Structure 1
């Protein structure tokens, strides 16, 4: 399996530096990256052209999600609408634990489907390793830092992240101008 690096935890500029460094390196060892990387590819990077524009932006209700909290979701993106141009946040099931605030520690499970090819790019569910982060500390993409505010422990939340709040020009397995669809489970909120 190809290691993508820390998709959620590294900004676009850092990804470019890492990509350039990796291209010039003759060291095939991947131990450091693999040990710290919560994200691994479950498929090849998308190289398909985006679907034809329909003139209608998708909403949270257009995205199909099956599965309950704690299980790997199945995410279905329709081809009858265009990717949204702004961050979409929707609780699919609301937990009864504390709500996340900026600066708090979170432990999240997630599945990521890329809009352009409608394939799972990464899943902590499949790895069996929830992802720890400090909310609002810039450790993750802006779509997560913004979209996870207020998530309650025990909640399943859908995030549709436009390119400017994700990876913009792409890198590390994410195609340029890619919209990202996450289903996240808030395993733990706070320490």
Structure 2
């Protein structure tokens, strides 16, 4: 069973923060940074269903992603046009706790460029059991990554396709092209 949703940005995230931080450097030990006001992230609603045009590229990619959570996922290339809105597709629907705004999601992920499937970052590179803590609502990662995790359940694997305006836009970190559309395969390991 798959779950399709489109998350729309209904809030402003300071571009200087949201677009300049590389994903791997999202968490900070600096108490001053941790004291920042949380950013609101809206959970999906029934009205947020994707159109067939937006769903097709993600379904194509998700259909080729492994359902075995013990195996590092690969992001396949896609010839379909990139969606213009955030689109998620559950490859595996978890049955544990739900990731909600205010919680911290511990995730494993592979990040790639939409279209080519070329990886640019993966928690799996740092070890099979290595996770990234994502404080949902804190604005510490790119908006599309954070919004795409909200609503996942522990034990789930989700493909998150992020248009450039919810990724790094025109201010990417080194190694990511300007206005790149991204795809992440995310495993939700736990929720704190």
Q: Is the 8 A contact 1:62 1:77 kept in 2?
A: no
Root-mean-square deviation over aligned CA pairs: 2.7
Deviation digits for residues 45-96 of structure 1, max 9, x if unmatched? xxxxxxxxxxx764321113135113210111222x1111111111110121
8 Å CA contact retained: 2:101, 2:137: yes
Separation of aligned partners in 1, 2:141 and 2:163: 14
* Residue number in structure 2 paired with 1:108: 107
CA distance in 2: counterparts of 1:133 and 1:85, whole angstroms: 24
Q: Taking structure 2 as the reference length, what is the TM-score of the superposition? A: 0.68
Gapped regions of structure 2 (runs ≥ 5): 1-13, 28-52
The two structures have a TM-score, normalised by structure 1, of 0.68
Aligned to 1:66: 66
Map of 1:45 onto structure 2: none
Change (3 A) 1:138 1:156: same
Counterpart mapping for 1:113-132 below 5 A? 113-115=112-114, 117-128=116-127, 129-132=130-133
Distance verdict in 2 for CA 1:167–1:152, change over 3 Å: same
Query: Which of 112-121 and 95-104 deviates more?
Result: 112-121
CA–CA separation in structure 1 for the residues paired with 2:142 and 2:124: 19
Aligned to 2:65, the other structure's residue is in SS state strand
- Does the CA contact (< 8 Å) of 2:91 and 2:157 recur in 1? yes
Deviates more, 1:164-173 or 1:97-106: 164-173
Q: Which structure 1 segments of 5+ residues have no match? A: 1-10, 19-32, 40-55
- Bigger Rg over Cα: 1
How many residue pairs match? The answer is: 148
Aligned 8 A contact 1:70 1:185 in 2 = no
Question: Is the contact made by 2:20 and 2:172 (CA closer than 8 Å) also made in structure 1?
Answer: no
Partner residue of 2:8?
A: none
- CA-CA distance at 1:12 after TM superposition: 4.8
> In structure 2, what is the Cα distance between the partners aligned to 1:16 and 1:61?
27
